[in-house]
Structure 1
Amino acid sequence: MSGSISAASVEETLKDFWATRPRRPHDGRKIAGVAAGIAQRYQIDPVIVRVAFVAMALCNGAGVLIYLLGWLLLAQADDEVSAAEALLGRGRSSTPTALTVLLGLAVVPATGFFVDGGFTMVGGVLLSVGAIYLLHRGRGQLNRPEPAVAFGAGAYGAEQGVGVGDGSGGKVSTEEQTTERVTPPAWDPLGAAPFAWDLPEPGRPPEPVAASPAPVVARRPGSRVGLATFGASLVVLAGSLVASSYSDWFHAQHVLGLLVAVLGAGMVLGSLRGNGGRGLIWLVVPLSVVGVVLTSVDFDVDAKQMGSTRDKPAAVADVKDRYTASVGEVELDLTALPNSGSVTTAVEVGLGSARVRVPADADVTVNCRTDLGSVRCLGRESDGEGRHEEVTDHGTDGPGGLEVVLDVRTDLGEVEVSRG
């Protein structure tokens, strides 16, 4: 169906991307030419590609892993094959063997970071693959390499055949020429035009062309890659359950990350080999959604609640030790407290915002952090992943007076500490 996206179309698009994948140019590169090659292949601004790599690098280094793989798997403009393929003896590459080995070794810690980074990096890699798929689907017809120089063809694998009329010296030998006609045809009984005797008789009906047999549609064999990948995911799941008894690392988020990584690798391998693995998408999508939810929201916060919490205590004794919300916002106003004594409290929000106002002349020591979001902490501001600010401020009157110690944090959202 036109315009629809099916598992078969995804597989065909990824296979076509691999067959016509970009080449790394010598001009316009900043490091290895991966971003410049993608920009040239799809005729887009290379700045956009570089910004995308930087954004993916913030997903626990997913952009770094993708760039290293591009360096290994994309050939330079004048090379026969990529550096990784040259290492396997499939052609010539100008990348030194030592550098290729070092790049391969660099992928190993990057992949380990992929596992240690949890689901954030898994999501970054899946987002990168999805972006490549959409880019090739929308602009893959632009600037396509010639078949003779496309990856996987020709000198990059194409067979060299002998053209029609080729032979020794490019000419047909005398023995191979057809014997000349000596009897005039019916349309030239006087033999006046022997140079045209090889033309067909006028009015002669064309020779019937035999009808070609109907094509036989071969039945697609069962997906061995899909079955093997599903089995590998079950082994990983069983191993993770056993390992969880010995290590705290194997909690739900990391186990889901491992499963999605295995299933995603199986889908890529199945697409490249052309023998299935498309059905794994029905496992990858729901596991990804569950993993993102588990990673974004902290379900271990004490006194979980939904909605908003607001408090404005008037005495030091009225300040609670902890203010929490699983989803929503917490607003704590300490400006009504007297200018003496000491207050220590924490504000924790899973998904939402945490805002605290402190007196203008209080001595404040505050620890602000968010796993993903923004921090506004007594004049210090930052946005992004893993933001953390520690501030000690004595207020407008200098040291002395009310002492306030705060720990304000969110898993996903906004943290703000300001003076009243």
Structure 2
Amino acid sequence: MSGTQRQQGQPFAGAEDTLKDFWTNRPRRPRHGRKIAGVAAGIANRYQIDPILVRVLLVVSAIVGGAGLVIYVLGWLFFPDEADEEAPLPALIGRGRSHTGWFFTLLLCAVLFGASLYTFNGVGGEGVVGLALLLTALFLLHRGRGGIAPRQTPPPAAPSAQPTMPLGMDVNAQTTEVPVPPQPEQRTSPPAWDPLGAAPFAWDLPDPAQPSPEPPALKRRRSPVGGVTLGAALAVGGVCALIAPQVSWLTPGHIIGIVLAIIGLGMVGGSLMGGGRGLIGLAVPLAMAGFVFTTASNGPAWVDSGQEWGTINVRPTTVDMVAPNYGVGGGTIDLDLTALPDTGVVHTSLNVGLGNISVLVPPNADVHVTCDAELGSVACLGNEQNATNAHISTADNGTDGAGGLKIYLDARVNTGDVEVRRG
């Protein structure tokens, strides 16, 4: 049963019918009101919801896990422009006409492939969960609001007036004339005795019409969706924070992702029932916090974090006290090696996802150091670099030349600063 055969709001018989109807009546990207390609505006126009809610959901899910970017590029490829016959990707295989060129369509396919890899290979699984939630929300939205309004039937035409038979007419007889009584003369000018036209009837004016009072404005009933969603988010977030010490998977980034998922569902429900716009102010800062914690917790593959968040401050006095690895997902590492003896060999690496690294080495030690920062600055033994993917690798034998304590140091940070200097 297609969308043209059912009344608006009437549920489908099954999921297969919903998917077929969605493809047949999928949203069209408008030319006016769009921000980038019109995907969010097209979804909002198709289902009569606030486009701000759609944009916020896509931005939040794009920051946390990348699912929003996948959905947006899919919409760009499969939702036709309002001035085109077909969407860019179906038009590429000859299904219709689209003003989007083949080169840009292939570029969008490449972006979709990269975004999909980022979403499905996420360490915490936020991208997969977000993608599933967005697709489920779109499915339910089409199932609830995807119907086409019933065709309006024109009102029945008024019956034409039948000719009436004159009074006194008989079908088989001649017409009988009926005498008409004389009508009083209708005066159209003032009487002769009142040449100025000030006859009494001239002053018989109707009273001015009184304006009808406007009906009182109906107060819009406040939707409970926002309050219920906020309460559920706080309750679930609080429970997750309480049990986080016993459950290793419940990192700060994962807790924020769960709370954001609840808020996202509340925003979808608010778009259907009216309300929930106040949740936008909560979703945006939470999305930024989730991005920070996700970056700090996951980081690149070389981050071997000893702990999720905090500060490591170490001052070893023997070579054996120096750990081979120091790592933190987000925070600071301060390593002071000036108390080490004058002989021996030290190998250690320091890894930080989001934060800073500071290392102090003895004045006379032979130091071989590599400093890396994907986004930030490095300052290693007098060499400085402030750029994306900053990298410095150097060797310095100290003030006494070669010999004595040897230190092999590898300091890397994802986002932040690295500093190695002599004490």
Higher radius of gyration, 1 or 2: 2
TM-score (norm 1): 0.42
Query: Normalising to structure 2: TM-score of the pair?
Result: 0.42
